[in-house]
Structure 1
Amino acid sequence: MTQSHTSTNKLSATTVWIMAIATGLSVANLYYNQPLLAELQREFGVSVKDVGIIPSLTQVGYALGMLFLVPMGDMFERRKLIVLTSGAVTAALLVAATAHSLWVMVVASLLIGLFTMVPQLIIPFAAHLASDENRGKVIGIIMSGLLIGILCSRTLAGFIGDLFGWRVVFYFAAALMMALAACLYFMLPASEVTYSGSYVGLIKSIGQLVKEEPILRESAVVGAMIFGVFSSIWATLIFLLSSPHFGMGAKEVGLFGLLGAAGAMAAPVVGRVSDKKGARTGVAIGLGVLALSVLILWGSGASIIGLIVGIFILDFGIQAAHIGNQTRVFALRADARSRLNTVYMFSYFMGGALGSLLGSYAWNTGQWQGVCVVLSVGTLIAILAFWLGRNSKPASQPTQLPG
Structure 2
Amino acid sequence: MPSSQQHVRTLVLAVSAGVAMSNGFSLQPLLPDISKSFSVGTFSLGFVAAAPQLGYTLGLLFLTPLGDRYNRKKMAYYQFIGLALCLFISAITPSLWVFLGASLVMGIMMTIVIHLNSFAANIASPEHRSQAVGIVATGVALGILGGRVVGGMLGQHLGWRVMLAMSGVLVLFCAVAIHFLLPDEPSKPVTPYRDILRSLIPLFRRSHLLKEASFAGGGWFAAFSAFWACLAAHLAQSPFYFGPQQAGLFGLVGIAGALSSRSAGRWADRIGARKVIITGVLTAFCAFVLMWYFNSALWALILGVLLVDVGLFSSQVANQARVLSLDPNARSRLYSLYMFLYYGAGAIGAAVSFTLLEYFGWSAVCAFCLGLTFISALTVGIGARSVTRDGC
TM over 0.5: yes
Q: Distance in 2 between matches of 1:322 and 1:373?
A: 21
Task: Compute the displacement of 1:312 (Å).
Answer: 0.4
CA contact (8 A) 2:281 2:312 kept: yes
The verdict on how the C-alpha distance between 1:246 and 1:381 changes in structure 2, with shifts beyond 3 A counting, is same
Q: Which residue of 2 aligns with 1:171?
A: 165
The verdict on how the C-alpha distance between 1:250 and 1:179 changes in structure 2, with shifts beyond 3 A counting, is same
Is 1:378 aligned to 2:380, yes or no?
Answer: no
Q: Deviations over 1:285-321 (max 9, x none)?
A: 1112111111111123211111000010101100111
Q: Distance in 2 between matches of 1:208 and 1:275?
A: 28
Q: Which residue of 2 aligns with 1:145?
A: 139
Q: Distance in 2 between matches of 1:377 and 1:102?
A: 33
Q: Report the RMSD for the aligned CA atoms in angstroms.
A: 1.7
Q: Name the amino acid aligned to 1:228.
A: A
Task: Compute the displacement of 1:155 (Å).
Answer: 0.6
Task: Compute the displacement of 1:90 (Å).
Answer: 1.2
Q: Deviations over 1:36-94 (max 9, x none)?
A: 11001111111101121011111010011111111111111111101111111111111
The verdict on how the C-alpha distance between 1:235 and 1:380 changes in structure 2, with shifts beyond 3 A counting, is same
Q: Distance in 2 between matches of 1:277 and 1:128?
A: 23
Q: Distance in 2 between matches of 1:193 and 1:278?
A: 34
The verdict on how the C-alpha distance between 1:212 and 1:10 changes in structure 2, with shifts beyond 3 A counting, is farther
The verdict on how the C-alpha distance between 1:61 and 1:396 changes in structure 2, with shifts beyond 3 A counting, is closer
Is 1:262 aligned to 2:256, yes or no?
Answer: yes
Is 1:157 aligned to 2:165, yes or no?
Answer: no
Task: Compute the displacement of 1:99 (Å).
Answer: 2.2
Q: Distance in 1 between matches of 2:187 and 2:137?
A: 24
CA contact (8 A) 1:74 1:193 kept: no
Q: Name the amino acid aligned to 2:58.
A: L
1:277-356 alignment runs, 5 A limit: 277-356=271-350
Q: What fraction of aligned residue pairs are identical, expressed as a percent?
A: 31
Task: Compute the displacement of 1:194 (Å).
Answer: 4.7
Q: Which residue of 2 aligns with 1:94?
A: 88
Q: Which residue of 1 aligns with 2:39?
A: 45
Q: Which residue of 1 aligns with 2:101?
A: 107
Task: Compute the displacement of 1:393 (Å).
Answer: 4.0
CA contact (8 A) 1:228 1:352 kept: yes
Q: Which residue of 2 aligns with 1:200?
A: 194
Q: Which residue of 2 aligns with 1:34?
A: 28
Q: Distance in 2 between matches of 1:137 and 1:260?
A: 21
Higher share of residues assigned helix:
2
CA contact (8 A) 2:12 2:177 kept: no
The verdict on how the C-alpha distance between 1:118 and 1:289 changes in structure 2, with shifts beyond 3 A counting, is same
Q: Name the amino acid aligned to 1:298.
A: W
Task: Compute the displacement of 1:195 (Å).
Answer: 4.4
- Match of 2:84, SS state, is helix
Q: Name the amino acid aligned to 1:244.
A: S
- Which runs of 5 or more structure 2 residues have no equivalent in the other structure? none
Is 1:126 aligned to 2:123, yes or no?
Answer: no
Q: Distance in 1 between matches of 2:388 and 2:175?
A: 37
Task: Compute the displacement of 1:11 (Å).
Answer: 6.4
Is 1:272 aligned to 2:266, yes or no?
Answer: yes
Is 1:387 aligned to 2:381, yes or no?
Answer: yes
Q: Distance in 2 between matches of 1:130 and 1:300?
A: 44
Q: Name the amino acid aligned to 1:299.
A: Y
TM-score (norm 2): 0.96
Q: Name the amino acid aligned to 1:49.
A: F
Q: Distance in 2 between matches of 1:262 and 1:394?
A: 36
Candidates 12, 36, 44, aligned match of 2:6: 12
CA contact (8 A) 1:63 1:349 kept: yes
The verdict on how the C-alpha distance between 1:160 and 1:71 changes in structure 2, with shifts beyond 3 A counting, is same
Q: Name the amino acid aligned to 1:345.
A: M
Task: Compute the displacement of 1:164 (Å).
Answer: 0.9
Q: Which residue of 2 aligns with 1:81?
A: 75
Q: Deviations over 1:182-230 (max 9, x none)?
A: 1110011112345431111111111111010000000001111111111
- Which runs of 5 or more structure 1 residues have no equivalent in the other structure? 1-6, 398-403
Q: Name the amino acid aligned to 2:275.
A: T
Q: Distance in 2 between matches of 1:341 and 1:101?
A: 35
Q: Which residue of 2 aligns with 1:228?
A: 222
Task: Compute the displacement of 1:16 (Å).
Answer: 1.1
Q: Name the amino acid aligned to 2:298.
A: I
Q: Distance in 1 between matches of 2:63 and 2:305?
A: 32
The verdict on how the C-alpha distance between 1:39 and 1:75 changes in structure 2, with shifts beyond 3 A counting, is same
TM-score (norm 1): 0.93
Candidates 229, 249, 272, aligned match of 2:243: 249
Task: Compute the displacement of 1:377 (Å).
Answer: 2.1
